[in-house]
C-alpha cells in the first residue's frame, strides 16, 4: 500500500515535470501547423527533392563517407589505447591517489559530449577531420576507460599473483595473467562503441570537424537542398549498413 502511494507521488511529480516543460518552452504548435507555417514547411521539404545524384557529387559523398568511417575507426582505436591505460589507474593497480585522479578524469572526459569536444578540438587542431578524430577519442576514452576498469576489477587476481610469485615483472605478469581474461571483453566494448561512433562521426562536421556532417552543414547553409538530401541519404544508408552488419556479427559470434 505504502509502495503504491509512493509510486503515485512519483508519477504525479513526473506529470508536473512534463507540464512544466511544455509551459517553460512556450511551444506554439498552433502557429507552427496553422496557416502559413505548414505551407512554408511543406515547400521547404519539397525543395529537397529530387536529391542531387550527379556523378561528381556522389564521388564527393563517397569520399566524405570514407572520411567519416576513418574518423570513427581511428578515434575509437585511440580511445581504446588511452582507455586501457587509464583503466589500469582507475582499477587501482597503481595506488589510491592515481585511482581517484583517473576516475575523476574519466568522468570528466565522458560527461563532455563529443560535439563539445569537437568544437574545442577545432580550436586546438584546426578545422578538418583530425579535430573530429581527437574529439571522438577523448569522449570515448572516458566511456571505455570506465568499462575497461570494471572488467579489470572483476578479473580474478590469481593468475597474475602466481606469475609475480614466480619472479615475473609487473608488466609481463599483467600481460600473461590478466590481459587474456579481459581482452575479449575489452574488444567487444570497443566494437560496440565503434558502432556508436560511426553515427557520431557523421554529425561532428557540424562544428567543422570533417566527414559527411561538414558537407551537410555547408550545403544547407548554401541553400543547396538537393545536395543536402543526397548527403542525408548517404548517412541513412551508412547507419543501416552498420546496423545490419553488427546484427549479423552478433548473431554469428554473440
Partner 1 sequence: MYLSGTDVGVHGRPRDPAALPRLLLIILALLVLWPGLVLTEFNLATLVDPRNLDIFARFLAGFWPPELSSGFLTLLGKATLETLAMATAGLVLALLLAVPLSLISSHALSVSALARGQPSPVGRMLRYPARLLLIILRSIPEIVWALLFVRAVGLGPTAGVLAIAITYSGMLGKVYAEIYESVDRRPAQALLQAGSSRLAAFCYGILPAAAQELTSYTLYRWECAIRASVIMGFVGAGGLGQMIDLSIRMFAGGEVVTILLTFLVLVLAADQLSNLLRRRLA
Partner 2 sequence: MTVRLDGVGLTHPGGFQALHDIDLSINQGERVAIIGPSGAGKTSLLRLLGTGLAPSTGQLHLLGVDPATLKGQALRRLRARIGLIHQSPPLPPRQRVVTAVLAGRLGQWSLLRSLISLCYPLDSAGARAALEPLDLQDKLFARCDQLSGGQLQRVGIARVLYQRADLLLADEPVSAMDPVLADHTLNVLGKVAAERQISLVASLHAVDLALRHFPRIIGLRAGRVLFDLPAERVSQAELDQLYSNDSFNEPVFADPVSAIAAASLEAPRRCT
Residues that bind partner 1 (CB under 8 A): 6-7, 10-11, 14, 17-18, 20-22, 24-25, 27-28, 32, 37, 40-41, 44-45, 66-67, 69-71, 73-75, 77, 107-108, 110-116, 119-120, 123-126, 128-130, 132-133, 199-200, 202-203, 206-207, 210, 216-217, 220, 232, 235-236, 239-240, 243
Cell of 235: 548517412
Contacts for 23 with CB less than 8 Å, ≥ 6 apart: none
Q: Choose from partner 1, partner 2, none: what does 37 bind? Cβ within 5-8 Å by kind.
A: partner 1
147 binds partner 2 (CB under 8 A): no
Spatial distance between the Cα atoms of 243 and 161, rounded to a whole number of angstroms: 41
36 binds partner 2 (CB under 8 A): no
CB of 213 to partner 2, least distance (A): 38
172 binds partner 2 (CB under 8 A): yes
- Residue 143 near residue 193, CB atoms below 8 Å: yes
Spatial distance between the Cα atoms of 215 and 240, rounded to a whole number of angstroms: 20
- Residue 178 near residue 200, CB atoms below 8 Å: no
168 binds partner 2 (CB under 8 A): yes
Give the H or E element holding residue 226: helix 225-253
CB of 194 to partner 2, least distance (A): 22
φ and ψ of 10, to 5 deg: -60, -40
Which residue, 178 or 219, is less far from partner 2 as judged by CB?
178
Amino acid at each position: 500500500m505504502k509502495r503504491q502511494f509512493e509510486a503515485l507521488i512519483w508519477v504525479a511529480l513526473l506529470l508536473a515535470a512534463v507540464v512544466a516543460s511544455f509551459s517553460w518552452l512556450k511551444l506554439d504548435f498552433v502557429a507552427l501547423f496553422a496557416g502559413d507555417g505548414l505551407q512554408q514547411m511543406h515547400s521547404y521539404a519539397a525543395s529537397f527533392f529530387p536529391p542531387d545524384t550527379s556523378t561528381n557529387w556522389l564521388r564527393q559523398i563517397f569520399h566524405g563517407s570514407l572520411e567519416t568511417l576513418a574518423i570513427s575507426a581511428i578515434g575509437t582505436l585511440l580511445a581504446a589505447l588511452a582507455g586501457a591505460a587509464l583503466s589500469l589507474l582507475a582499477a587501482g593497480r597503481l595506488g589510491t591517489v592515481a585511482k581517484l585522479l583517473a576516475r575523476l578524469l574519466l568522468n570528466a572526459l565522458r560527461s563532455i559530449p563529443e560535439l563539445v569536444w569537437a568544437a574545442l578540438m577545432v580550436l586546438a587542431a584546426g578545422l578538418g577531420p583530425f579535430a573530429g578524430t581527437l574529439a571522438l577519442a577523448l569522449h570515448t576514452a572516458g566511456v571505455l576507460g570506465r568499462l575497461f576498469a570494471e572488467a579489470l576489477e572483476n578479473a580474478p587476481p590469481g593468475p597474475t599473483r602466481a606469475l609475480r610469485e614466480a619472479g615475473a615483472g609487473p608488466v609481463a605478469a599483467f600481460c600473461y595473467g590478466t590481459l587474456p581474461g579481459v581482452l575479449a571483453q575489452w574488444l567487444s566494448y570497443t566494437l560496440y562503441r565503434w558502432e556508436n561512433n560511426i553515427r557520431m562521426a557523421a554529425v561532428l562536421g557540424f562544428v567543422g570537424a570533417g566527414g559527411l556532417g561538414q558537407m551537410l552543414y555547408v550545403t544547407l547553409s548554401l541553400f543547396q537542398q538537393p545536395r543536402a538530401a543526397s548527403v542525408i541519404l548517404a548517412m541513412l544508408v551508412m547507419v543501416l549498413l552498420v546496423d545490419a552488419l553488427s546484427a549479423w556479427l552478433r548473431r554469428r559470434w554473440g
